[in-house]
Amino acid sequence: MKLLRLLRVQELTYNQKEKRLASAIKNIVGSKPLNLSLYTLAFRHVSVSKEIKSGVKISNERLEYLGDAVLGTVVAEYLFQKFPYRDEGFLTETRSRIVNRESLNQVGQKIGLPKIVESEMDGRVPNSFKSLYGDTLEALIGAIYLDRGYYFCKKFINKRLINPFFDLDNIIATTTNFKSKIIEWSQKDNKEIDFELKSLDNNQRFKEFTVCLNIDGSSFSEGKGPTKKKAEQEAARIACEKLQITF
Amino acid sequence: MKLLRLLRVQELTYNQKEKRLASAIKNIVGSKPLNLSLYTLAFRHVSVSKEIKSGVKISNERLEYLGDAVLGTVVAEYLFQKFPYRDEGFLTETRSRIVNRESLNQVGQKIGLPKIVESEMDGRVPNSFKSLYGDTLEALIGAIYLDRGYYFCKKFINKRLINPFFDLDNIIATTTNFKSKIIEWSQKDNKEIDFELKSLDNNQRFKEFTVCLNIDGSSFSEGKGPTKKKAEQEAARIACEKLQITF
């Protein structure tokens, strides 16, 4: 089976629509699909899915779930390697700014998914599904992972998605710093805030800092962490949440 | 460098402590480390980390961030393959029940991390860090991924973590069904609840159901989804959250 796929024997049996899909995939991914049915599935939105037995529908949602995980890992490693001196808080936050509905949706559109989606859905593309292309992009990543394996998929994500489409410098410049957000807020609203170190649990050299954020002299939120800086960030994060400060 | 690692030349330079660590890793992982320094790092808790320059500490937290992502992907695929007829909601939920602090902590203890942690921390193991072994397990997965690559790491997770330590049948039996939870709650609290289909957006064959959950006749929460069942689950989930129903 695998040999037949590698020899691309199935290509001989493609109909017109399948030929179109295979060549569109080649444009996006850089090489022809081995198992085209995975890609057909990746473009099958739940709203046009077929019911194969009672309650079981075949749609791209399962591939989307898988692709979401693979994308998360590849981006995690990308940032891990690129920023050897940044802590995991920074990495996690930067990742969530890369992998989110809106940015994936934009990238999905830029690499040309709308045309394929339209063709695969026979023109019935809905306007109401805002994250359609982001979801489809994740499903496509799931299909590539199953079709070509982890390392091929990783290369696809790094070379054809992250490098050309994500402006990392810009993303990093705006990565949320809760402490600075709350300070900004206090200046605008003319409030007095300060971070007060409440306690330091120094048990057996394991430090836990507890920091209290006071607003106009009275305690407003509390954060804990292994460093003073992290405890302050945590206290500020909770305060931002309580105050419903948006970013 | 890679050749030297494959030939395990570095083993000749191990001191006593490193020899102990290498053999402990071999017991857990099934083969000796190629790059031992990754594993040393995996066991360096932030509280015993060294500051290499101002503000930059070397600890296992970055590896933990990476390992968490890799573990998520491997478990995602494991469930994807094992349950070909279950939808992504089920898969996501089951995954989060496998990959959570508490269960990872238990598995970390079962595979023998406490002994290594103790040795690597020269006996200064804290009692206060509840998720110490779960965090260390994730960092170890990150180290294995960097040291041996994705497929080796995947095999380790499937064969040595999921299969022996996770009782999937039991996890699945208790996977949260929000609708049944809210029905249970209503019966206990003697409330009248019903799910009411508010609207069905059937634009160009793309369906979006909106379901309202009424409690004692008045609207309490609303859910949307591509099927009626999903919209109901979503409405029930929001209601559970509002009512602070715990599981």
pLDDT at residue A226 in the model: 78
pLDDT in tens, A125-170: 666 567 899 999 999 999 999 999 999 999 999 999 999 998 887 7
Q: Are A166 and A230 contained in the same domain?
A: no
- Which structural domain, as residue segments, surrounds residue B121? 2-173
Tell which of A37, A50, A73, A227 to mutate to test the B interface (max B CBs under 10 Å): A73
Long-range contacts, stretch A178-184, CB < 8 angstroms, 24+ apart: A178/A233, A178/A236, A178/A237, A178/A239, A178/A240, A179/A232, A179/A233, A179/A236, A181/A236, A181/A240, A181/A245, A181/A247, A182/A213, A182/A236, A182/A239, A182/A240, A182/A243, A182/A245
Q: Are B91 and B189 contained in the same domain?
A: no
Helix (H/G/I), strand (E/B), else coil: B139: helix
Do the domain assignments include residue B133? yes
Do the domain assignments include residue B157? yes
- Mean pLDDT over each residue of chain A, to the nearest integer: 87
Looking at the complex, does the CB of residue A81 fall below 8 Å from at least one CB of chain B? no
Q: Are A155 and A182 contained in the same domain?
A: no
- Token pair recorded at residue A86: 């940044």
Task: Please report, for the domain that includes residue B235, its CATH number.
Answer: 3.30.160.20
Which of B155, B173, B191 marks a domain boundary?
Answer: B173
Which of B148, B173, B198 marks a domain boundary?
Answer: B173
**Domains of chain B: total:** 2
The pLDDT confidence band at residue A87, using thresholds 50, 70 and 90, is confident
Q: Find where tokens 């994807």 sit.
A: B80
Nearest to B150 among A68, A69, A150 (CB): A150
Tell which of A56, A61, A77, A130 to mutate to test the B interface (max B CBs under 10 Å): A77
- Residues A222-241: what's their mean pLDDT? 85
With contacts defined as CB-CB under 8 Å, which chain B residues touch A208?
128
How far separated are the first and last CA of chain B, in Å rounded? 51
Examine the residue annotation and report whether B68 is marked as an active-site residue of this protein.
Answer: yes
Q: Return left, alpha or beta for A101; rule: phi > 0 is left, psi -120 to 50 is alpha, else beta.
A: alpha
Distance CA B191, CA B189 (A): 6
Nearest to A76 among B69, B85, B205 (CB): B69
**Given B11, B51, B61, B68, the catalytic residue:** B68
State the amino acid at position B96 in one-letter form. S
Do the domain assignments include residue B59? yes
Do the domain assignments include residue A247? no
Task: Please report, for the domain that includes residue B104, its CATH number.
Answer: 1.10.1520.10
With contacts defined as CB-CB under 8 Å, which chain A residues touch B81?
none
Distance CA B45, CA B54 (A): 18
Q: How far is B124 from chain A (nearest CA, A)?
A: 6
Distance CA A61, CA A36 (A): 17
Answer yes or no: do A226 and B47 touch at CB < 8 A: yes
Q: Are A23 and A101 contained in the same domain?
A: yes
Which of A127, A156, A173 marks a domain boundary?
Answer: A173
Instruction: Evaluate whether A171 touches B14 at the Cβ level (below 8 Å).
Output: no
Do the domain assignments include residue A33? yes
Looking at the complex, does the CB of residue B247 fall below 8 Å from at least one CB of chain A? no
Q: Are A32 and A79 contained in the same domain?
A: yes
C-alpha dihedral over B105, B108, B109, B115, to 10 degrees?
Answer: -130
With contacts defined as CB-CB under 8 Å, which chain A residues touch B65?
76, 80, 88, 91-92
Q: Find where tokens 């715990």 sit.
A: B246
With contacts defined as CB-CB under 8 Å, which chain A residues touch B91?
62, 65
Distance CA A55, CA A95 (A): 35
Beta strands at A208-215 and B50-53: parallel, antiparallel or unpaired: unpaired
Distance CA A204, CA A106 (A): 50
Distance CA B122, CA B131 (A): 19
Tell me the catalytic residues of A.
68, 138
ipTM of the complex: 0.73
Answer yes or no: do B61 and A124 touch at CB < 8 A: no
Cα angle at A129 between B96 and A47, to 5 degrees? 80
With contacts defined as CB-CB under 8 Å, which chain A residues touch B201?
128
Radius of gyration in angstroms for the set of CA atoms belonging to chain B, rounded to a whole number: 24
Q: Are A8 and A112 contained in the same domain?
A: yes
pLDDT at residue B80 in the model: 97
Q: How far is B177 from chain A (nearest CA, A)?
A: 16
More confident residue, B46 or A182: A182
List per-residue pLDDT tens for chain B, 247 residues long: 566 666 677 888 899 999 999 999 999 999 999 999 999 999 998 777 776 665 567 889 999 999 999 999 999 999 999 999 888 888 998 998 899 888 999 999 999 999 999 888 777 766 667 789 999 999 999 999 999 999 999 999 999 999 999 888 777 766 667 887 888 888 888 899 999 999 888 765 567 889 999 999 999 999 988 778 888 888 988 898 888 876 5
Looking at the complex, does the CB of residue A114 fall below 8 Å from at least one CB of chain B? no
Share of chain A above pLDDT 70, in %: 88
Helix (H/G/I), strand (E/B), else coil: B176: coil
Selection from A39-43, A46-50, B202-206 with the highest mean pLDDT: A39-43
pLDDT at residue B26 in the model: 96
Closest Cα partner for A32 from A15, A13, A7?
A7
Nearest to B128 among A124, A151, A203 (CB): A203
Q: A39-73 burial, b for 16+ CB within 10 Å, e for fewer?
A: bbbbbbbbbbbeeeeeeeeebbbbbbbbbbbbbbb
pLDDT at residue A139 in the model: 97
The pLDDT confidence band at residue A243, using thresholds 50, 70 and 90, is confident
- Token pair recorded at residue A174: 């705006």
Number of H helices, E strands in chain B: 13, 5
Helix (H/G/I), strand (E/B), else coil: B101: helix
Q: How far is B189 from chain A (nearest CA, A)?
A: 30
pLDDT at residue B90 in the model: 87
- Residues A12-28: what's their mean pLDDT? 93
State the amino acid at position A22 in one-letter form. A
